[in-house]
Amino acid sequence: MPAASRHRIVHITCIAFACVMALLAVTWGGGAVAAWAGQTGKPRATARVLATDGNRSSGHLVVEFTTRDGRTVSAEDRRSGWPRDARRGGTVEIVYSADDPAGDVAPFQDVGASLPWTAAFAVVAALSGLAAFRTRAGPRVRGGR
């Protein structure tokens, strides 16, 4: 295989890898921002799991928790995204609406845990982009010089 052909394969691979890593960084970063925005201003509590039905992606969870003002509330949630290890009798971290604790309960998402992954994807994307730039074909000289 000629050197120019190998050089082009490396260049295209670097471009593709940079694009994939950039998409992962944007996706993870966007998910972290969305989770943060959805949790901002909501009280957090540790809830006891009373019942589970279905699986993580479709089903529901019934939890019981104590609000900041001392009320014990039981709530059912049908959304996905609950921790995989949520079992009857176990505990989960939740956020809830202070106005309607029984009606608006969601799993707490630690957005700080996704920051290192987002940063790693962004750094790898930047390095792959730099490698693609460095392996690009040079200018072609016309006129035989």
pLDDT tens digits, one per residue of 71-124: 999 998 876 677 777 888 899 999 999 898 988 888 888 888 889 999 999 999
What does the block give as tokens for 35? Answer: 């989770």
Asked whether 32 and 58 are in contact (CB, 8 A), the reply is: no
What is the structure's pLDDT at 25? 96
Amino acid (one-letter) located at 65: F
What is the structure's pLDDT at 144? 53
Edge-first strand order for the sheet with 72-77 is 72-77, 59-66, 44-54, 91-96, 105-107
What does the block give as tokens for 67? Answer: 């609000």
Asked whether 88 and 52 are in contact (CB, 8 A), the reply is: yes
Per DSSP bridges, beta strands 105-107 and 72-77 are unpaired
Asked if residue 38 has pLDDT above 60, the reply is: yes
Q: Which of 61, 56, 85, 86 is nearest to 75 (CA)?
A: 61
CA-based radius of gyration for the chain: 24
Q: pTM surpassing 0.75?
A: no
